[in-house]
């Protein structure tokens, strides 16, 4: 799949840089989209073949995304709401940019409780408490869990997208050990996942048609 060209939205973050590195290692062309103030975090890739950076004050700007998706086969995007970035605005802008560039394959990141559940999925007591108690308290932080949940609903509503939302537990800056999929109800507070493994999982998903229009959960392959 060395001919793939992928846009990575939020490429300068901790997970984003892992995605860029792994994509380039796989021979993909990469269009890295980040905030203007974060461009320097991608300096290590500046001389890599097939690497391009596009920046804007906020990555949900539709004109920026339209430029970034030109010629792309797929998108990997951080579905997060923090400070000026609202995940709902990102999905709305991506809808326009993806349509304009005929991009249908989009994979999104999500946390354990920041995406709507698939039909039949059941939360544990801990997860039910988490999704009911945490959102009202997040006004004290730069983040908004409720906006992230709304954004995942918007993703589900995109009828022409072959989308995947990949939920992960706590992410760690640790060496890769492999990943596995599980039910959301199997995740406990002890679960964690290497960012390297998460990046590999997200990129593997790009070419897996069984993941189309699915919200999946990934954890470390090693016992917790």
CA gap 46, 43 in Å, rounded: 5
Give the model's pLDDT for residue 132.
87
Query: Could you say which residues of the chain have pLDDT below 70?
Result: 1-2, 137-140, 142, 224
- Confidence at residue 1, expressed as pLDDT on a 0 to 100 scale: 42
Q: What is the pTM of this model?
A: 0.94
CATH number for region 5-220: 3.40.50.720
Say if residues 57 and 77 touch (Cβ distance below 8 Å).
no
Distance CA 138, CA 25 (A): 37
pLDDT score, position 138? 66
Provide the sign of the torsion angle of the four alpha carbons 84, 108, 171, 68, taken in this order.
negative
* Amino acid 90: pLDDT: 97
List the chain domain ranges: 5-220
Q: Please count the CA atoms within 13 angstroms of the CA of 95 that sit on its side-chain side.
A: 14
**What pLDDT does residue 94 have?**
98
Please list the alpha-helical segments (H only) found in the chain.
14-25, 62-68, 87-101, 125-137, 145-156, 195-206
């Amino acid at each position: 799949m060395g001919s793939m060209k992928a846009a990575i939205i939020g490429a300068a973050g901790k997970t984003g840089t892992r995605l860029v590195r792994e994509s380039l290692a796989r021979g993909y062309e990469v269009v890295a989209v980040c905030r203007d103030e974060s461009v320097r975090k991608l300096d290590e890739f500046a001389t890599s073949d097939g690497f391009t950076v596009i920046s804007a004050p906020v990555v949900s700007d539709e004109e920026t995304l339209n430029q970034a998706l030109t010629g792309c086969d797929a998108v990997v995007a951080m579905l997060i709401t923090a400070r000026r970035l609202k995940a709902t605005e990102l999905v709305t802008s991506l809808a326009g940019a993806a349509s304009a560039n005929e991009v249908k394959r989009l994979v999104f990141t999500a946390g354990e409780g920041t995406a709507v559940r698939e039909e039949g999925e059941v939360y544990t007591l801990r997860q039910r408490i988490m999704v009911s108690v945490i959102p009202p308290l997040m006004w004290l932080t730069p983040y908004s869990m409720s906006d992230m949940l709304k954004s995942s609903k918007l993703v589900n509503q995109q009828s022409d997208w072959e989308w995947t939302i990949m939920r992960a537990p706590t992410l760690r800056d640790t060496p890769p050990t492999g990943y596995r999929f599980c039910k959301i109800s199997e995740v406990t507070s002890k679960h964690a996942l290497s960012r390297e493994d998460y990046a590999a999982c997200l990129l593997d998903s790009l070419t897996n048609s069984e993941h189309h229009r699915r919200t999946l959960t990934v954890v470390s392959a090693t016992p917790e």
